[in-house]
Amino acid sequence: MSEFTYTPDEEIQIHRENAIRHMCQPFLSHENGLPEWVKNSAAAYIREGREPGKRTIMLLFATKQRSVPASIACLDLVGMSSTQIEEDFRRWADPDAAVRRGTKGVSIGELGGHGNGGKCYMTQMFEDFASFQTVRNGLGCSYGVKGGSVAFGYVPNPQDGKDFAVDSIPDAIYSCMRPMRAGVSSLPEDIRSLVSEAKGFTFIRGVCPRYWEERDACQNLIESLLGHHQMITPLQQCQIYILINGTPYNGGQPLALPRIDPMQGYETPRVLSIPETVRDPVSNQNVSTTQRSRFPAGELRIYTSDKNMRLGRGGKRQWRHTVTYHTNQSGVIGKIPMLSLDADSGYRDYLYCECFLEALDEFQQNNRGPLAESPLPRAVNAWIASQVRAFCRELEERDKRLIREQDKNELTRLNDWLDQWKNQIFQEFMQGLYGQGDGGPLPPPPPLPSGKPSRIEVSISCPRAGKGVYIRPMVKFFDSQNRRIRPVPYGWISEDNNVAMVDEDLMQIQTFSFGRTKISAKTMDGSLCSNAVPLDVVRILEIRITPHELDMPAGTRSRLEAMCRLSAAEEVSNVYLTWMESNVSVARVSGSGLVYAVGPGETEVTATDDSCRSDLPAVVRVSPSPGKGAGKDRGRGGPRILISEVNSAPSEDQPPIFRKDDPPIYQRLQDVDNNIWWINLASPFARLYYSSERYGVKSEAWRMYHVERVIDVMVQIALSHGPDSEESRNSRDWIYRAAEFEAEFRAKAIESLRELIESGETEI
């Protein structure tokens, strides 16, 4: 190392307030801020060496009542001295905050950080003020900050707010709880006992929370707590109770982490040692994972889930569908979604990981999300992805062994027969499409019959929506015999017009503000109302479209997924957005991301709402439909239906293995020219029906499923091989036309396949 002599400035100049505001940006929400208060309370207990059964944390919510504003508060039974306030609490960006030791000399480990999050939450998310009352060793302090400021101070001044005598700690605690409309009777008996024995406490309270919609606000925030990575350790190591306006939540029981049951046979995590060196995919150089033995070697733990974590109800699995990074020095230092790993397998959706590596500590960022961009984090992530891919291949091989040879023979026998049946139906069908060989236009579809409705059924494809998005729910009318009939005049209804309201001109629902509502339809005469479908309007921080490129033939459909990062750090994909195409003559996209290939060409697609826009557009390339230009004979070449994991394509040696999240019927790009369609055996319902003990490939349930998938293929073929005028239809017309084709093919199946479905005999 060369010598370098210089005289450093005695003081580093920095704009303190702007620096703090920049540092605090990740905590501009209650969903990210409140977990910081809980984490700090949990860390206080662990520093004290308090036994697990006596680590009680109380969260209190008070809604607005007349002139009294809403408040959010957090109570622990530890407390701080004025020395701790002045030397620890009021220090910003302290690199030693994670390892600072308390009176018992216990490192806080898993609950570490830089000492910013709780203070950031206090300064940013309360319009009136945020302060805390704390008592330790018989002396109390009151300390806080005015809304919008970053300058903390004693309340009302150091003379009166610092080191004042406190005679009764329980009385002081109950006095703090009073503005939250809570008291002694609000607490469970065991907590009252702990309060009566307490030697100290900290009660932190924020008044007039920002972005606080009174309706469902408490419930939504509580649900987000169970979906936040900073809450994992506190929920495991402490008892966290909640009071709402003095009423115990959850029947007075503490919050608990949702249980994730593992896959059968993989009940314990896969533990792998991280190599001494890993390769950075950008520079292609090896990087030390121990900084040349300065730190110990790390390990990766891969856990399994018995259910798809991306589709977890209410997001309770989705938020743990991550790679979480840990160090002994700072605890949880970051996380990335499993979806960001380069592991193209449906089994990735059933895995989550924990990475323990001390050398990563310096790369943590203030929001404890992705680690800072650098060779070591990149190299570690690439290595983790390779291990996840290997684990997924192992699980796929296990599934392949589930298909016994006799099952393959039965599947092939049934599929060959249904494929021939399909060809016979199509010969008649195509003649009807083109007339008697004269290439005439497609006759208009028969209308639904009219009748008196007795039931209205409303459904939506996504349970969430962005802000400022238009939604047209699906509506069906049925008569007293449960037959679908032509709609009568109706209108849309939103339960909460502040969240979403009907646009009377467009007859669509437009979302306005974050919150929850329910959507229903009602006849204009008011005589009949549908079911009410819940819809959440969510705050989106980031939108990422996958795949980035999509190739598809004209006349077909595919789906783009918009991965939305919400304010609770949760990533979800089923969100209504506004999709925009640069060339609508090439493709159109529905509000749920369904792409309709209209004509050959290329278009860019973006997804947006009023508050966020996708970072990069997706490129959709549409090729001519199969058989384009073949005139009246187009589509008569007899497309084949094969089964994945059982049959091989003519040019391939092995049967393809698709993912669980691939469609139940699937056509790869290379299958288009060969006119091949696949029934995807990896699809969850396919797995259930053909491989479970209850059903099996010889069951009526499987045969029914098999027929349903053949009909799905026939609908896709009919849509893509119809007359040229079909390509001019808009997305709504495509949906209706598909439903008409499906109804026709189902009628044919009922006529000729009833005995096959019931008996399995193909000699009929």
Same domain, 420 and 373: no
Domain assignment present for residue 588? The answer is no
The CATH number of residue 161's host domain is: 3.30.565.10
The answer to whether residue 432 scores a pLDDT higher than 70 is no
CA atoms within 13 A on the CB side of 306: 10
Same domain, 639 and 681: yes
Give the residue with greater pLDDT, 579 vs 729. Answer: 579
Helical spans, DSSP H, in 403-505: 405-434
- Segment 99-127 shows an average pLDDT of 61
pLDDT band at residue 102 using 50, 70 and 90 as cut-offs = very low
Q: Which domain holds residue 760?
A: 405-443+629-764
* Most trustworthy range by pLDDT among 13-17, 104-108, 397-401, 488-492: 488-492
The answer to whether residue 109 scores a pLDDT higher than 80 is no
The answer to whether residue 143 scores a pLDDT higher than 50 is yes
Give me the pLDDT at residue 758, please: 78
The answer to whether residue 17 scores a pLDDT higher than 70 is no
Give me the pLDDT at residue 400, please: 66
Same domain, 334 and 372: yes
The CATH number of residue 494's host domain is: 2.60.40.1080
Same domain, 145 and 38: yes
Domain assignment present for residue 570? The answer is no
Same domain, 154 and 245: yes
Same domain, 303 and 411: no
Last residue in a domain, options 507, 537, 567: 537
The reported pTM is 0.49
Give me the pLDDT at residue 403, please: 61
Task: Provide the number of structural domains found in the chain.
Answer: 4
Domain assignment present for residue 7? The answer is no
Domain assignment present for residue 131? The answer is yes
CA distance 518 to 499: 10
Same domain, 121 and 186: yes
Is the CB of residue 63 less than 8 Å from the CB of residue 247? no
Give me the pLDDT at residue 66, please: 80
Same domain, 733 and 752: yes
pLDDT band at residue 724 using 50, 70 and 90 as cut-offs = very low
Give me the pLDDT at residue 627, please: 43
Domain assignment present for residue 91? The answer is yes
Last residue in a domain, options 487, 520, 537: 537
Neighbours of 579 (CB within 10 A): 23
Give the chain's mean pLDDT: 81
Least confident of 130-139, 483-492, 685-694: 685-694
Domain assignment present for residue 606? The answer is no
**pLDDT tens readout for residues 33-59:** 898 899 889 888 888 888 888 899 999
Same domain, 328 and 214: no
Give me the pLDDT at residue 623, please: 83
**pLDDT tens readout for residues 486-531:** 888 888 888 888 888 877 656 678 888 888 999 888 888 888 999 9
**pLDDT tens readout for residues 258-285:** 788 898 889 999 999 999 999 999 999 9
Cα distances (angstroms) measured from residue 317 to each of 4, 283, 304, 368, 586: 53, 35, 12, 19, 37
Q: H/E/C letters for each residue in 303-314?
A: EECCCCCCCCHH
Same domain, 231 and 160: yes
Give me the pLDDT at residue 101, please: 39
**pLDDT tens readout for residues 361-396:** 889 886 677 898 999 999 999 999 999 999 998 888
Give me the pLDDT at residue 323, please: 92
Same domain, 389 and 339: yes
Last residue in a domain, options 480, 513, 537: 537
The answer to whether residue 406 scores a pLDDT higher than 90 is no
Give me the pLDDT at residue 22, please: 62
Domain assignment present for residue 683? The answer is yes
- Segment 414-422 shows an average pLDDT of 85
Q: Taking the mean position of all CA atoms in its chain, how far away is CA 78?
A: 36
The answer to whether residue 139 scores a pLDDT higher than 90 is yes
- Segment 719-726 shows an average pLDDT of 48
- Segment 130-135 shows an average pLDDT of 94
Is the CB of residue 473 less than 8 Å from the CB of residue 490? no
Q: CB burial class (10 A; 0-12, 13-18, 19+) of residue 650? A: exposed
Domain assignment present for residue 106? The answer is yes
The answer to whether residue 317 scores a pLDDT higher than 90 is no
Same domain, 436 and 479: no
The SS3 of residue 76 is strand
